[in-house]
Chains A and B, each alone.
Chain A
């Protein structure tokens, strides 16, 4: 059964930061079970959500990500005992910071997907993709990144201007 897929004007870029043991395995399970989900997501594998530095999120937004997913083992199931708790605490604080600087938190999804939850992986990815699609592209960070990497050499006039203004 092949249903015609609707074409969209905007295909968001979704980056998923996941742990190897639970969510990566859950995404593998979605594959082995031949479940279908939008192709927008790119998965980065970490040993543990505890390894995920909030800086990576900023970096991903700068590189043009429109939505970000962070997912690991359920509380209590961390392969490394407590890495996911540290991650949870870290991201709870980081969310506040993002909110403060005006990032729409709907672009970031935190979830627990176990190695047995192929279906949940599909749901989480699908929901986030659809939600971000309606929100449109995330341009603020990308623009900033571009500004940071000014085109000229070290002594370009525009740089000079900035220095003087400082």
Chain B
């Protein structure tokens, strides 16, 4: 016989203003099985929790229903409270009479009636709740970091410094990400390379870090504390262990005219190359598409000149399996490219800006390469078409961003600041030049950010024009910029030598494919989703996977680094225990019932359903049944609704519990 305690919260006045809480309590006390019911001003407060605990002991309560706010808010609080007085936490349920009742209805009578019914449903449900044991799983104290931009580097260093092994996987031949491409960085204008490269070297030399560059994630199995990750190490055609990084191969390679992607195609590179001089590891890779040896079978110059004999044209991709307990995803972002109208991209193209056909219309990252001392122009601002120094430069913000018509409604967050930075860098390098900026508004919150932006205008003489640009076209060697200045309501036309577009920050192409391998969710743009926008900003909803950097949304370096360190801290928290507990909301198979059709296995997105042999005492096989691995099961219950023989049950959401609620109506 159950002895249920019902506790109705006033939530100050948030509930009691529209719901007659005393009436709910007195009605609930009459429900069959209810041994005690009361109301209180703040159930979640310390005295409120004590009241519950005392009642459990005094009235020998077997189950508890707390009618208050959403269980998403305080279910844990109350389950912990009852646990302290010896009740299994899963014998406590919450009835949501605030978000789902008092806040959304005005009529007191209706709201009170609804609250009574909600409480009634939960009372019937809790009667069917079972004691659920905590599930413990072992933890492999090694972490995987995907992506070697500043986010991945920071997270890896933090975790490794704490004494744990880290496996870092970077898709490109070198780590560094976008930050390696930047010239100087806002808000302090220190040189990006100077602050970045020491970290890259630290990472490469760290005894706790295994770095796999030119590698990708092939497959992810397992679950929190126990992932098995298969990594594809792409064939570099250069033996990393033999190469000394002397670089002679690159000087002799006959293929010299390949556009250098790292320099945004402004310069060229050879077929055997390192993406940039400070690359880590400093080991070249052969671009097989452009290599004469791979194309014609003749050449091999690099092999002939390589002293240590590191060149290996026959190298194959290799697969490595790494066991890890936690994963940090730090795959960063991409800029929207106006030269293409990308398939599947939400942006509708930029015909009015010439679709990238005008050579002197470039994007912000290309400008970074022009301004970079180690870039293709040695840090001189020279325009791509004729190498002349531009005297009038127009910067256009929000290209793609904040435009529902163009398909990206979010703000890319970093471009206001980097455009201000660009105007300054330009002014420092071309003293007689003039920078114009078309902007909608300046979004520059952040420490020292507003001051920085003002400096661009007040000291560095950038002219900011509030308005949009409707068209760009080539006229002689000028680019005509047609726009409007909405602050004075006039049309503006500027003949520019160079136009720099602050194009939208987008997730990586293929971000969705990686998410599917990892089993994490993403938003409609394909940025990865955190578990809670405010309170769980670095955790994925999938346990054991954390996010860092621009893969989760547009971010500048300070935010990226903070999030990376936060993700590392979460990993270290996880690694501070040898075993971990997880919510026991998992599916269980009733083996006597199971007919072994494995319909459940087909629908389980986590691969949690395994095959199990049932044998008699003599060891003869009787039948095969489904077995749900409680470490892997995420607790969605799809298998249960699918099973034709009703042999799977999701603890916490059994048919009995659900039907009890329906019948209470």
Contact = CB atoms under 8 A, between A and B. Distances in A.
Interface of A: 2, 5, 13, 15, 20-21, 24-25, 27-28, 30-32, 34-37, 39, 42-48, 50-53, 55-56, 59-60, 63-65, 76-83, 86-87, 90, 122
A2 B106 CA distance: 8
B106 A5 contact: yes
A47 B662 contact: no
B662 A15 contact: yes
A46 B663 CA distance: 16
Contacts of B117: 42
A34 B105 CA distance: 9
Interface stretch (B378-386, B464-472, B632-640): B632-640
Contacts of B104: 30-31, 34-37, 39, 122
A43 B117 CA distance: 11
Q: 5 nearest interchain CB pairs?
A: A31-B99, A51-B637, A50-B638, A80-B636, A81-B605
Given A42-B114, A51-B653, 11 more contacts: A5-B106, A5-B107, A15-B662, A36-B104, A39-B104, A39-B114, A46-B637, A59-B663, A79-B636, A82-B638, A90-B642
A63 B665 contact: yes
Given A78-B521, A86-B603, A27 B99 contact: yes
A44 B661 contact: yes
Interface string B96-127: 10111101111100110110011001000000
A52 B642 CA distance: 9
Nearest to A50: B638
Interface string B504-525: 0000000000001001010110
Interface string B128-159: 00000000000000000000000000000000
A143 B407 CA distance: 52
Contacts of B96: 28, 43
A45 B118 CA distance: 12
Contact of B658 (A31, A44, A48): A44
Contact of B100 (A27, A50, A82): A27
B72 interface: yes
A28 B70 contact: yes
Nearest to B117: A42
User: Which residue, of B96, B113, B523, B605, has the highest number of chain A Cβ atoms within 10 A?
Assistant: B605
A9 to B, nearest CB: 15
Contacts of A86: 603, 638, 641-642
B87 interface: no
B411 interface: no
Contact of A83 (B107, B585, B636): B636
16 contacts: A5-B107, A21-B541, A28-B72, A34-B103, A37-B104, A42-B114, A42-B117, A47-B635, A47-B653, A51-B640, A63-B663, A78-B521, A81-B605, A82-B603, A90-B641, A90-B642
Interface residues of B, number: 47
Interface in B83-101: 96, 98-101
Nearest to A57: B662
Chain A binding surface SS class: mixed
Contacts of B603: 50, 82, 86
A90 B585 CA distance: 23
Interface of B: 70-72, 96, 98-101, 103-107, 110-111, 113-114, 117-118, 121, 516, 519, 521, 523-524, 541, 585, 603, 605-606, 634-638, 640-642, 650, 653, 655, 658-659, 661-663, 665
B103 to A, nearest CB: 4
B638 A83 contact: yes
Contacts of B98: 31
Contacts of A20: 72
Contacts of A59: 659, 662-663
A121 to B, nearest CB: 9
A77 B634 CA distance: 16
Nearest to B109: A39
Contacts, number: 133
Nearest to A27: B100
A80 B605 CA distance: 7
A77 B516 CA distance: 11
Contacts of A21: 541
B649 to A, nearest CB: 11
Contact of A13 (B521, B605, B665): B665
A43 B653 CA distance: 14
A20 B40 CA distance: 27
Given A46-B653, A48-B636, A63-B665, A83 B99 contact: no
A52 B634 CA distance: 16
Contacts of B113: 39
A28 B541 contact: no
Given A15-B662, A59-B662, A81 B655 contact: no
Contact of B638 (A44, A48, A56): A48
Contact of A81 (B103, B106, B519, B650): B519
A77 B638 CA distance: 16
A31 B635 contact: no
A48 B606 CA distance: 14
Given A50-B603, A53-B640, A60 B107 contact: no
Nearest to B515: A81
B106 A36 contact: yes
B543 to A, nearest CB: 12
A64 B523 CA distance: 38
Contacts of B519: 81
Contact of B650 (A35, A39, A47): A47
B655 A53 contact: yes
A31 B662 contact: no
User: Which residue, of B100, B104, B121, has the highest number of chain A Cβ atoms within 10 A?
Assistant: B104
Contacts of B99: 27-28, 30-32
Contacts of B70: 24, 28, 31
Contacts of A27: 99-100
A65 B664 CA distance: 12
A51 B110 contact: no
A32 B100 CA distance: 9
A122 B105 CA distance: 11
A46 B606 CA distance: 18
A42 B118 contact: yes
Nearest to B529: A77
A43 B100 contact: yes
Nearest to A32: B99
B129 to A, nearest CB: 14
A51 B638 contact: yes
A134 to B, nearest CB: 20
A21 B542 CA distance: 12
A27 B641 CA distance: 24
A59 B516 CA distance: 35
A35 B105 CA distance: 8
A79 B655 contact: no
